[in-house]
Structure 1
C-alpha cells in the first residue's frame, strides 16, 4: 500500500508541476525604538494582519510557572483609558479582531483589520494601548487566575496532557522548557497581580519585540503602522539567551497508571533548534519516518500492518534551543508493550539505514508540492514572518525552501540522524493501563 501511495503522489506532483511559484518579497527594517519589522505586501484582500511578538514565553517564567501565559492573557482586560468592555466594543465597532497567545519561547498579540484607515487606525490605537499600557485590573486577574486553575485541574483528567507534561519534565529536567506553559496548580495559586505587572514591564519592551505585517498596505504605510504599534513601548533590553539543552545521559522510563482503555505513549529526546545546521535533512528524514501521515514508515507499520493504533507519528518541534523529537501514539492497553517495541525498532532501523531513494523522492515531492498551500493565506504568511523575525532566520527562508528540500540526499539524512538521534538514550512515557 505504501508503495502505491508514493507512486500516486509522484504522479500527481508531476501532473500538477508548473513554473516555480514566486515567493512573497520580505522587507525588513527597525522602528525608531529598536523593534525589528518584517513586511510583505499582499494586495489581494483589503486586509491587514499585524503581529507583535516578544521573547516572553513560559521559558521566562523565572520560577513562577504560568506567569507568562497569565500576563499575555490579561493584556485585553484593560488598557489605557479603556476597560475590558470598552476594548471589546471599540474593536467590534471597527470590525477588527485582537488575539493573544503564549508559547514556550514567545508571546504575541495579533491584530486583524480592514486596511481602510478609518477602520485600521482606531484598532491600531487599541493595540498600542494593550501592548504598552495594560492595567491588569485586580478583578480580571483573579478571574483569569481561577480560570487557569480550572484548566490545570481538568488537564489532570486528560491522559494526553498527563503524558505531555511528564515527557517534558523527564526530557528537560531543570531547563526552562521543562514546565508546562500554563504552569502548575501550586505555582498559579501563588501568583499575584504584582508578578504580572513586573513581568510585563521587563519583557514587553521594544528591544524584545518583533513586528510582522502582511496586507494591503505599501511599504511607507507599513512603516507607519509598525511605529504606531510599538512607539509607546519603552526601549528596554532584549531577554537574555536561554541556557543550552543538555543531552540525555541515559534512557529513562516513566509509567503512569491512568483509568483509560488506551495507553498514551511518547518516546523521544532533545531534537533541534530553529536555524539548526541539520534542519533540512532532519525535516525531510522525519517526513519519511513519521511526519507524513499515511505516507510514513511509522504509520504504515503501526496502523496498516499491525493495527495497533489509529494514528502514530513522529516530529521535531524546533525552538530557540533544542525542542523535542517525539514519537507518539495511542493504543489499547493490552498492545502497549508491542507498540512501544515496534516504535523503537522502526526508529533504530531508520537511524541505522536511512531512507531509500524512492522514499526520499516521494518525500521531496510531497514537501515541495504542498509548500504553496502553507503560505496560501495572509494568516499563514504572517505566521512564517513572525517565526523568521523572532528566530532571526534569513529573509530568503521562503524563497529557498524548495531548493533546500531538493538538495537533501539519502546520505545527508543518514548522517544527520546518526549524529542527532540516539535510540539507546530515549525518554519513554506511558500513561494508561488501568481501565
Structure 2
C-alpha cells in the first residue's frame, strides 16, 4: 500500500507500507536527497504499566537499553556507535517506549545490528544499573527545588489521582532506589515485543533492503502477551486550586481543562480552538491578554495532550507571587469569552491559514518525517493522514469550533496548581 505525503506547500513524497516476513508494521519513505537513514519506532505500553509501588521502571529501562547489549558492555557499545557516527536513543512516556536511529547508508547493516542487540539482548549489567540509578536520583533531588517540575508533578497527582497517569514517569527517589534488575527484565519482556511495535524509516534505502533489515532487527523479538488495560480517565478536581509551597519570587502555574484525543473526530476543531486560545505563540489570545496588554508573564500558552486513556487541555505560565490571582483571572475570563462568543471569522481564518501553511515546516528533515509517521501509525490515523490533514483543517466551521469549546471549556472550571508563594488568591 502507498500513500502520498503532501501538504499544500510541499512536494509529494510516497509513503509505502512494507510487508516484512516478521509481520512488523513499517512505513517507508525512500529518499536519496542525502545518504542518510532515519528510523523512528515505538512500542505500545510505557510508564503507565510501571508497578504501582515502583514508578520509574519504564523510564529506567529506556535509559539502559544502550548501556551494553550482547557481548558488548556499555563502553564497547558506545564506542561502536561513535566509530560509525551512529545516533541511537531511547525514551519512555506514559503510553509507549520508543526511540530513534540515524545512520549513514554505508553503515546501515551495523547500525541496525546495534539496534537489534539493544532491543533483543540488553545486558542490564549491575554497574550500568547503579550508574543510571544514581543519575536518575540526582536529577530527582535537583527537581525538588524546580517550581516547574513540582507544579507539573502535583498537577498530575491531583488531576489523575489513583490512576497510573497520576504517577511520575521518572519515579521518586524511593521508588527508583527500590528498582531491581528483575523489575527491568520483567518490563522488557512485557513491552519490547514484535506485536507492539510501529516503525517508520526515511532515507536512501530500497524497500527490499529495508524489509530484510527490519526482519533481522525486529523479527527476533518475542510475540506480545496481553498488557493490563489502562482504564479511561477524565481530568479530575476541576475548579480546584493547589499550592506547592516553594520560597521563590515568581510562582509557576499549571492549569488544565478537559481535552479531546487525537483519535477523536473532534480533534481538529479543538486543535484550531487551542491555537486561538493559547497555542498560537505570539498571536494567541492568552499571549496578547496576559503578556502584551498587562505584562503579567513572559510566556503563557496551552496545548492539547492526548494519551491512550485520557486527554486534556494543558496550560502554563509564571508570574510574580503578588500577581498570580490577577493572571488566573485574566486566563479564566478569556476562556469564558471564547466559550461564550467564539472566535471572530477573521480569527478563525487566520488560525486555519497558519496551521495549513506551517504544516510543511514539520517535514524539513528525515528525522522529523520519521517521527511524525510513527506517531501517526501509533495513533492509528492511517497512512494517508498527512495527505488529507490540511483538508480537515480547512473544512472546520464556526459551528465545529463552538462544539469543541463546549467540550473543552465546558463550565469554565480549571484544575490549577501553583508552585511558589502566591498572594491575592
TM-score, normalised via structure 2 length: 0.94
Q: Which of 81, 85, 97 is residue 87 of structure 2 equivalent to?
A: 97
Shift of 1:20: 4.7
Shift of 1:414: 1.1
Query: 2:150, 2:419 within 8 Å by CA — same for their partners in 1?
Result: yes
* 1:7 corresponding residue in structure 2: none
Relative to structure 1, the CA distance from residue 270 to residue 256 in structure 2 (aligned partners, 3 Å threshold; closer, same or farther) is same
CA distance in 1, matches of 2:65, 2:96: 15
Indicate the SS of the match to 1:274.
coil
* 2:191 corresponding residue in structure 1: 203
When the two chains are superposed, the root-mean-square deviation of aligned CA atoms in Å is 1.8
Asked whether 1:390 is paired with 2:372, we answer: no
* 1:375 corresponding residue in structure 2: 363
* 1:329 corresponding residue in structure 2: 317
CA distance in 2, matches of 1:253, 1:395: 42
Query: 1:313, 1:329 within 8 Å by CA — same for their partners in 2?
Result: yes
Relative to structure 1, the CA distance from residue 343 to residue 181 in structure 2 (aligned partners, 3 Å threshold; closer, same or farther) is same
Relative to structure 1, the CA distance from residue 278 to residue 90 in structure 2 (aligned partners, 3 Å threshold; closer, same or farther) is same
How is 1:3-402 mapped onto 2 (pairs within 5 angstroms)?
20-63=9-52, 64-116=54-106, 119-237=107-225, 239-246=227-234, 248=236, 250-402=238-390
* 2:413 corresponding residue in structure 1: 425
Relative to structure 1, the CA distance from residue 434 to residue 258 in structure 2 (aligned partners, 3 Å threshold; closer, same or farther) is farther
Shift of 1:240: 4.7
CA distance in 2, matches of 1:304, 1:293: 12
| Long gaps (5+) in structure 2 | 1-6
Indicate the SS of the match to 1:182.
coil
CA distance in 1, matches of 2:359, 2:234: 33
Relative to structure 1, the CA distance from residue 23 to residue 432 in structure 2 (aligned partners, 3 Å threshold; closer, same or farther) is farther
Shift of 1:238: 5.4
Q: Would you say how many aligned residue pairs link Structure 1 and Structure 2?
A: 416
CA distance in 2, matches of 1:384, 1:350: 30
Indicate the SS of the match to 1:429.
strand
Shift of 1:283: 0.4
CA distance in 1, matches of 2:250, 2:140: 22
Shift of 1:200: 0.3
Greater CA drift, 325-334 or 294-303:
325-334
| Long gaps (5+) in structure 1 | 1-17
Relative to structure 1, the CA distance from residue 19 to residue 320 in structure 2 (aligned partners, 3 Å threshold; closer, same or farther) is closer
Indicate the SS of the match to 1:134.
coil
Query: 1:258, 1:431 within 8 Å by CA — same for their partners in 2?
Result: yes
Shift of 1:30: 4.7
Query: 1:344, 1:423 within 8 Å by CA — same for their partners in 2?
Result: no
Query: 1:27, 1:38 within 8 Å by CA — same for their partners in 2?
Result: yes
Indicate the SS of the match to 1:177.
helix
Greater CA drift, 201-210 or 34-43:
34-43
TM-score, normalised via structure 1 length: 0.92
CA distance in 2, matches of 1:301, 1:434: 20
User: What whole-Å deviation, never above 9, does each CA across 1:153-188 have from its counterpart, x for those lacking one?
Assistant: 111110000000011111111221111211111211
User: What whole-Å deviation, never above 9, does each CA across 1:45-80 have from its counterpart, x for those lacking one?
Assistant: 110012231123211113121000001110111111
Relative to structure 1, the CA distance from residue 407 to residue 138 in structure 2 (aligned partners, 3 Å threshold; closer, same or farther) is same
Shift of 1:416: 1.3
Greater CA drift, 125-134 or 48-57:
48-57
Query: 2:8, 2:390 within 8 Å by CA — same for their partners in 1?
Result: no
